[in-house]
Amino acid sequence: MFQTAFKYYKAKTPPPSFGEVIPIGSNHPKLESVPLPHADAKSFTGLLPPSEWKVYELSGHPGLLVVLNPFTPTAQRYWMVRCLADYPSHPNTTNQIGARQLIEDVGCSWWELLQTIRSPVEQRKFAKSLRWVTLGYQYDWTRKVYDEARREAFPSDLGTMVRYVAAVLGYDRFSPEAAIVNYYPIGATLAGHTDHSEDDQTAPLFSFSFGQPAVFLIGGTSREERPDAILLRSGDIVVMSGASRLCYHAVPRVCTDVELPAVLGTSAARWQGEDAALPRDDVLWSDVEQYIQYSRININVRQVLKANQQTLQRSGCASAS
């Protein structure tokens, strides 16, 4: 059932209908409004006041929370810039094994090297080559384990933001220790999987979407269970906790607004506009905006260790959405 749904939404000919895809914030019967335990929390720079957040639990998927974009437009741009200009740099690991030596030889970052490519075709090709970056605990993709010897400092700004979001949603003890930043060009997919590499498999996973829209599938603990499809737009947050923490999930489609019903609005509207509380770099943003026109960025944050645990005790398989 899961794979059938995945193939349906992935298909190019004929393209899928989005009639059964659930938009966050809609009056869909499967979206059950969730009261915030800390709606009166002090505001955080770049986020709407918690009293204005719209949070839902997906019916039939206990613990699967979705938050309609709580980010200001400038904050969305800030996180896009961080993911592109800063995170794909040493000591973080990327998938670009072939490009890594070139980047080291020229003495610049992946993002800086991208800007030196003058051919639009070649630039876009090189941009598509970056698919993931790991933050904090680095992940050994060969042995499929986190690496205690490669426990890097988790970005302080990202950690602070995630802890705030977690606390507002009632996860007061969540500790962001690892993240996978995924870079999805239009047409990219992520196959069905579960996340079970962390020593603490009870702590929730936090997934932040920026850029172009995507279809997100959430199923059960077996591939035989029929999944639900959710439409994720820029700024939306997915939290997998409780019974949904170890469920199968996937991204069968990353698309553009023209593929979606017009009633859903446009993605770009979510990162346009101003917020005086955050700085802006027009030159840098111009390059980032060009990239984001054909890409989606996902930041998937997880707690690796159990409470009071100092080092890794187990291993497994990790992936991201």
Contact 94, 182 (CB under 8 A): no
Token pair 């974009």: residue: 69
Contact 32, 57 (CB under 8 A): yes
d(CA 273, CA 152): 34
Q: Is 196 annotated as a binding residue?
A: no
Q: Does residue 161 sit in helix, strand or coil?
A: helix
Q: Is 61 annotated as a binding residue?
A: no
Residues in a beta bridge with 184: 296
Residues in a beta bridge with 230: 22, 216
Q: Is 195 annotated as a binding residue?
A: yes
d(CA 202, CA 306): 9
* Exposed / middle / buried, residue 169 (Cβ in 10 Å: 0-12, 13-18, 19+): buried
Q: Please spell the DSSP secondary structure of 119-146, one letter per residue.
A: -HHHHHHHHHT--EEEEEEEEETTTTEE
Structure tokens at 75: 């904050």
Q: CB 282: neighbour CB atoms within 10 A?
A: 6
d(CA 259, CA 45): 33
Contact 184, 297 (CB under 8 A): yes
Structure tokens at 161: 């933001």
Sheet with 214-218: strands ordered across: 22-23, 228-232, 214-218, 249-254, 190-193
> Which residues are known binding-site members for Fe cation?
193, 195, 249
**Binding positions:** 193, 195, 249
